[in-house]
C-alpha cells in the first residue's frame, strides 16, 4: 500500500484534516489544535473511553461517538462542539461532582485540578443534580502517598499507569457501577501492599486530589505529568 493510500482525509468542525489509519479522532483533533474535553484519556496511556466527555458528532451516525477510541475513516465529518454536546458534557462533569465529596476550597489540589479546570472551561456555575455524599475513606497508610476516595472520579489513569508503565499492577478497580472503588492489591491498606514500588506515577497522573503526596496542605499539590510522553517515547525507541 502506498503512503498516499494510507492517509485518511476527514473534516473536523469543517476543517480538512489528514490522518494515519491508526489514529483516533482525538489524536487528529489534538494535532490540529482543536480542543475536545476529556478526563480519562492521557497521552502515553492506553485509552478506555470511560469518562465520555470526548463524545463527538459524526455525520451519518445518530450515536455520539467517544473520540478517544474512535478511529478515523475516510471522508468522516466530525463536529466537536454543539449545543447537544455541551449539554451532555456539562451533565457528565456535574455528575462527577455529585458522585463523591469534591470540596474545592479545602482540597489539596485546589487551583491545580483537572476536574475543577474542566468545570470552569465548560462554564459550570452550579450542579443541577443532588449530591450523593457517600461515606468514603482516606487511606494514608503509605509512607509517601495518600488516596482520598472522596475526590476520585474513577478515570482509571492510575490503574493504567501502574500496569502499563510501571508494570506493577498494584492498583485496580473493585465493585461495579457507582460502587466502584480503586483498590491496592487485594483491597488492603496501601501501606501494606507488597507490589507497590512507591514510584508515585499514579499520583502524578491523577487528575484530581484523590492521589496526593503525604503532608501536602490545601492548594499545594501540583502534578507533574510531562514525564509520561517522554517515558513512552524513550521506551519505544529502546524496543
State which of residues 219, 225, 231, 232 lies at the interface with other proteins (CB under 8 A): 219
Query: Quick one: CA dihedral 226, 96, 124, 85, positive or negative?
Result: positive
Say which residues have a Cβ less than 8 Å from residue 107's Cβ, sequence separation at least 6: 113, 151, 208, 209, 218, 219
**Measured torsion, CA atoms of residues 87, 93, 94, 100, in degrees rounded to the nearest 10:** 160
69 binds other proteins (CB under 8 A): no
140 binds other proteins (CB under 8 A): yes
Size of the site for other proteins (CB under 8 A): 19
State which of residues 32, 79, 98, 141 lies at the interface with other proteins (CB under 8 A): 141
- Nearest CA among 165, 181, 163 for reference residue 173: 181
CB of 116 to other proteins, least distance (A): 15
Which residue carries 475516510 as its cell?
74
Q: Which is nearer to other proteins, 32 or 110 (CB)?
A: 110
218 binds other proteins (CB under 8 A): yes
CB of 220 to other proteins, least distance (A): 7
Query: Quick one: CA dihedral 50, 179, 105, 188, positive or negative?
Result: negative
Largest Cα–Cα separation, the chain:
58
State how far the Cα of 115 lies from the Cα of 157, in Å rounded to an integer: 14
CB of 223 to other proteins, least distance (A): 17
Q: Which is nearer to other proteins, 30 or 216 (CB)?
A: 216
CB of 105 to other proteins, least distance (A): 7
For residue 239 the three cell numbers come to 524496543
CB of 135 to other proteins, least distance (A): 9
112 binds other proteins (CB under 8 A): no
Q: Which residues contact other proteins by CB under 8 A?
A: 105-106, 108, 110, 137-141, 146, 148, 191, 214-220
Amino acid at each position: 500500500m502506498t503512503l498516499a493510500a494510507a492517509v485518511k482525509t476527514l473534516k473536523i468542525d469543517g476543517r480538512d484534516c489528514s490522518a494515519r489509519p491508526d489514529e483516533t479522532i482525538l489524536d487528529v483533533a489534538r494535532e490540529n489544535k482543536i480542543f475536545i474535553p476529556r478526563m480519562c484519556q492521557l497521552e502515553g496511556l492506553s485509552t478506555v473511553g470511560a469518562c465520555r466527555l470526548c463524545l463527538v458528532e459524526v455525520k451519518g451516525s445518530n450515536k455520539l461517538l467517544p473520540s478517544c477510541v474512535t478511529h478515523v475513516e475516510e471522508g468522516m465529518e466530525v463536529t466537536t462542539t454543539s449545543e447537544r454536546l455541551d449539554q451532555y458534557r456539562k451533565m457528565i462533569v456535574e455528575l462527577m461532582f455529585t458522585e463523591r465529596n469534591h470540596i474545592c476550597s479545602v482540597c489539596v489540589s485546589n487551583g491545580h485540578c483537572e476536574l475543577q479546570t474542566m468545570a470552569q472551561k465548560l462554564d459550570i456555575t452550579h450542579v443541577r443534580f443532588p449530591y450523593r455524599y457517600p461515606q468514603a475513606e482516606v487511606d494514608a497508610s503509605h509512607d509517601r502517598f495518600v488516596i482520598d476516595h472522596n475526590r476520585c472520579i474513577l478515570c482509571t489513569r492510575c490503574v493504567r499507569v501502574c500496569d502499563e508503565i510501571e508494570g506493577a499492577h498494584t492498583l485496580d478497580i473493585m465493585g461495579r457501577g457507582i460502587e466502584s472503588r480503586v483498590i491496592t492489591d487485594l483491597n488492603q491498606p496501601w501501606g501494606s501492599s507488597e507490589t507497590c514500588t512507591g514510584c508515585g506515577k499514579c499520583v502524578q497522573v491523577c487528575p484530581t486530589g484523590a492521589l496526593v503526596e503525604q503532608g501536602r496542605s490545601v492548594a499545594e499539590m501540583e502534578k507533574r505529568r510531562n514525564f509520561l510522553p517522554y517515558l513512552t517515547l524513550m521506551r519505544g525507541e529502546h524496543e
